Structure 1
Amino acid sequence: MDVRLSAVDVAGKDAGVPWQDEWLTLRQPPIASSADIADVRAVPDGNGLTVLQIRYRPEVHRRIHDGTAALVGQRIAISVDGRVVTVATVQGPFSESMGLSGLPGKDEARELARHITGK
């Protein structure tokens, strides 16, 4: 299983992947990968929806913070096994964790968490 947090390259210089009705080019190397993940859980968001909460290992917090701080206002993509599952605009830097929203339902969020963790 391969999970990546990658910047979307608007100049289209690196490898591309499909996302909804567009072709995205994702920058290499990714900001974070599977090895950086400490925990993944499907959690309620308080609005009746389910969010996939991804918590990163403490030793990578600074790298993820710096990587996302440089991307405020730009798009990032989360991909699992080469399939983009969501694209978002970075509103501000993050480091310890991120919430993946916009999934069709709680069953898909739980299944994705099981797939990522193997549990």
Structure 2
Amino acid sequence: MYYAIGHFSKFIPPGSVRIDSRLMRAGLADLSTKLEYAAFLTPEQAIVVIVLNKSNSRYPLNIRDTHGSANAQKIINERSITTFIWQPFGVKPQHPISVQGVKATPYGPAKGGVLL
């Protein structure tokens, strides 16, 4: 647990917002119960994806953003946490919006996101 919190506190700076991310893996419907993940857009416009593998098996993963500016293939080791960071080319956030006092930047499938 200590190392997991370390990934979030080290790689997701204040002001970051969570962005859309989806696990898309043909034929492995149960993979979503083995891997947990979250994607964030930092104030510096970098994308951070943190993947937690809770199982005793390794899984191949192909990470790409919907703008096509990043594509990474990686084996996610058993019982591990892995962080991916990249700066997308030409991606600028939309104007911030406020929902009940919480600021967020629209960033979804139509505007950009991350596919795992």
TM range (shorter): 0.3 to 0.5
Relative to its length, the structure with more helix (as a share) is 1
TM-score (norm 1): 0.35
- Bigger Cα Rg: 2
TM-score (norm 2): 0.36
